[in-house]
Structure formats: C-alpha cells, structure tokens
Chain A
Amino acid sequence: MTVASAIFYFFAAILIFFSIKVVTTKNLFHSVMSAFAVLLGTAGLFFLFNAEFLGIVQILIYAGAVTILVLFVVMLTTAGPKYRIVWETPLNIWIFVFVILFGGMLGMIVLSIQWPVAKPVALHGVTEALATRLFVEYLLPFEVASILLLAALIGSIVLARRD
C-alpha cells in the first residue's frame, strides 16, 4: 500500500463518516459542521488528485463562505420562541430501499464500464493550464457563469430584503 493510497483511504473514511453524520444527527448545528468536515475532506482529495487550484477554491468558498452563510441562516431561522424542534422523523423504509438500490445501480454502472485509464502523472503548473483552458477555450461559459452569479446575487438581495 503506497502513501497516496493510505491518504486516499483516510480521506474516504472521513468523508463517509461525516456524510452519514450530516444526514443522521438531530442537531442542526452539528449537521452543518459535519458538512464542513466533508467539504474539507473533499478539498484534501482534490490536492491528492493534482487539483491545487480547486482545492484552494473549495476551502475558500465551500468551507469558508458557504458554511458561514448556512450557519447564519441556521441562527436566523431557528431562534425565537415560535420555533419548535421536530426533527425526530420516522425512518421512511421506502426512501432507504430506494437509496440502496440507487447506490447499487451507480456502483454496478461504475464497475461494468471499462474506463480508458491512463497512468496518472504529477503535473506541474496545473493552475496555469487551468487558467489557459478557462480563458481561451471556455471563455463564453465563463462569462455566462459570471452573469449567473450576478443574477443570483441580485435575486438573493431582493428575496431576503425586508421591505
């Protein structure tokens, strides 16, 4: 077992454990913090897979901004005397069966396809290559994405504004 493989199994165990914690824990705050751990673990896997830029972006945007935003919303919407915690939901057996079957289907598809795998090489200057790809070949989708972000920004302000 190589070092990379050991690191991969470590992060995989962290990811699976904390994602189960996200969906099973009763406490809203614990759930959000478990999601934070899952996003950080994914950033670690990105670093392992030659994607330094994406790893940094994942830590900055997801682990930083998204978790803080969600925590703000949790604090804003679960405070006050009007709020009652009714998280104890009976486990819906049909959803469980559906998810098991769905996951099995995904696994079978993954295992049944002969992926054209090449020997992975450690690249240098991944960020530069990614920027070239993004600003030369995918310039139009990049600009459309910025318009989408602007629209989402204005929409969120309009929706959440108290008038």
Chain B
Amino acid sequence: MDITLNQVLILAAILFSIGTFGALTRKSIVIVVMCIELMFNAVNLNLVAFAYFSGLEALRGQVFAVFIMVVSAAELGLCMAIAIMLYRNRDTIQVDRINMMKW
C-alpha cells in the first residue's frame, strides 16, 4: 500500500485544525503566532503533496510553497517586533490583557 494524496490531505487538515485551536485558545502572543506558523506549515504540506502527486515536472506547488514561506517569515518577524513593543509598553504579552482599543 502506497501513500495516497488523501492521506496527506487528511494529515494537513488535522494539523490545520490543531493550529486553529491553539491560535484561538492560547493566551500568549508568541504561542498564537507559533500556531499560525503551524497552519502555514499544513498548507505548505498540502502544496508540496499536490506538486508530488500531480506527476508533472512543472513544480508549481513547490513555487507557491516558497512564496508562503517568504510571507510567513515576514509576518513572524513583524509579530515578534510587535510582541517586544507591547511588553515594553504594557508589561504583558497576554492577549486578554491587551484591550486598550476596546470600549
């Protein structure tokens, strides 16, 4: 029995759901961003699997995975800078304590 595309897609769906759960429930900004990275990761896994199982030599899925990596790296760098700035100004990085824009 070989690997099928459905197995990989189900695995990526499970990983994406776990990442969603973490991003919605965790209180620390750092872990929320890490969970978003896990979701990006699941999507990358999907794209690489599509490129593999399409049987073509075009490798478009891998190209898109490269772009997703670029965007998620940029997003993570900015989020870490925002976390440091929030800690400096508000003394906490818990998402439920950062409510100055709520009225």
Which residues of A are interface residues toward B (Cβ below 8 A)? 1-2, 4-5, 8, 12, 15-16, 19-20, 22-23, 28, 31-32, 35, 38-39, 42, 45-46, 49-51, 53-54, 57-58, 61-62, 65-66, 69-70, 72-74, 76-78, 82-83, 86-87, 89, 91-92, 95-96, 98-100, 102-103, 106-107, 110-111, 115-121, 123, 126, 129-130, 133-134, 137-138, 141, 145, 148-149, 151-153, 155-157, 159-160, 162
Report Cα–Cα, A62/B3, bound state, in Å. Answer: 26
Report Cα–Cα, A106/B11, bound state, in Å. Answer: 11
Residues in B neighbouring A138, C-beta threshold 8 A:
63, 67
Question: Looking at the complex, which one of B21, B30, B48 makes contact with A99 (CB distance below 8 Å)?
Answer: B21
Interface of B, helix, strand, loop or mixed by DSSP? helix
B82 at the interface (CB under 8 A from A): yes
Report Cα–Cα, A115/B77, bound state, in Å. Answer: 36
Report Cα–Cα, A36/B11, bound state, in Å. Answer: 18
Which residues of B are interface residues toward A (Cβ below 8 A)? 1-11, 13-22, 24-28, 30-31, 33-35, 37-38, 41, 44-45, 48-49, 51-60, 62-63, 65-67, 69-71, 73-78, 80-85, 87-88, 91-94
Contact A149/B1 with A22-B31, A38-B41, A141-B67 known, Cβ cut-off 8 Å: no
